[in-house]
Structure 1
Amino acid sequence: MTDLEPAAAVEEALRGNGISVESLSIDESVSLTYLTAFPDVEPDHGEVGRAVTTFLELAQSDEWEPTTVEATILRSEGDVQATWRLEADWIQAYNDYTLDDEELSQRVLDTLYEGGDA
């Protein structure tokens, strides 16, 4: 992945983990929009977990400099299922072993907002 631009490398990693990326931009933070494979009323926590894990792995392998991730989950074009956030300091704490899986998962789930505008 090191031959790719940061956004392309992140997108490739997400797609490799089964995340259907619709749009991705990296500036001060990461803005991710993806189409869910589970267009139910509630977002699939496993799918959110795969996306989060992708960012954690990229940061651990120094392929991406951790920044806050703002994600929007779509059921279909224009139909927002939910949004969630992964803070840069949570990524750092997790990779420093000061934040465990359960705590990180709970923090991300606490940011989950179902429906509405992104």
Structure 2
Amino acid sequence: MNDLEPAAAVEEALRGNGISVESLSLEESVSLTYLTAFPDVEPDHGEVGRAVTALLELTGGDWEPITVEATVLRSESDVQATWRLEADWIRAYNDGALNDEELSQRVLDSLYEEGGE
């Protein structure tokens, strides 16, 4: 991680991957809310992937993996979806126990579309 405060470094990494961060907090987990560039009915998997990639890149340095709870907004008060990235998944990925496809599938399996089941 760079010399920024942890939350600022996470936000910078996300913004650098084209994620429009609305709010971010780091406590027991990362709580991330971002405004999608694709306000369709379904969330854009590529955009979710870019957010995950940004977070994974941070764990290659000094940042200890923690669970990420993400909320995707179409607009300020319109939630499109939520998704999770578990700390254990990050560790398994970094250790080589999960490949790109397996990690992606876990994140997509956690995806909950508002108005969906």
Gap runs ≥5 in structure 2? none
The equivalent residue for 1:80 is 79
User: When the two structures are superposed, what TM-score results if normalisation uses the length of structure 2?
Assistant: 0.95
User: How far has the Cα of 1:60 moved from its partner?
Assistant: 1.1
The equivalent residue for 1:6 is 6
Gap runs ≥5 in structure 1? none
Aligned partners of 1:106 and 1:3: how far apart in 2? Answer: 33
Deviates more, 1:29-38 or 1:52-61: 52-61
The equivalent residue for 2:103 is 104
Aligned partners of 1:82 and 1:54: how far apart in 2? Answer: 19
The equivalent residue for 1:34 is 34
Aligned partners of 1:55 and 1:47: how far apart in 2? Answer: 13
Tell me which amino acid in the other structure corresponds to 1:18.
G
Aligned partners of 1:114 and 1:61: how far apart in 2? Answer: 32
User: How far has the Cα of 1:3 moved from its partner?
Assistant: 1.6
Aligned partners of 1:115 and 1:93: how far apart in 2? Answer: 29
Give the total of aligned pairs. 115
Aligned-residue Cα RMSD (Å) equals: 0.9
Q: Deviations over 1:69-116 (max 9, x none)?
A: 000000000100000000000000000001001110000000000015
User: When the two structures are superposed, what TM-score results if normalisation uses the length of structure 1?
Assistant: 0.95
Q: Is 1:48 the equivalent of 2:48?
A: yes
User: How far has the Cα of 1:61 moved from its partner?
Assistant: 2.4
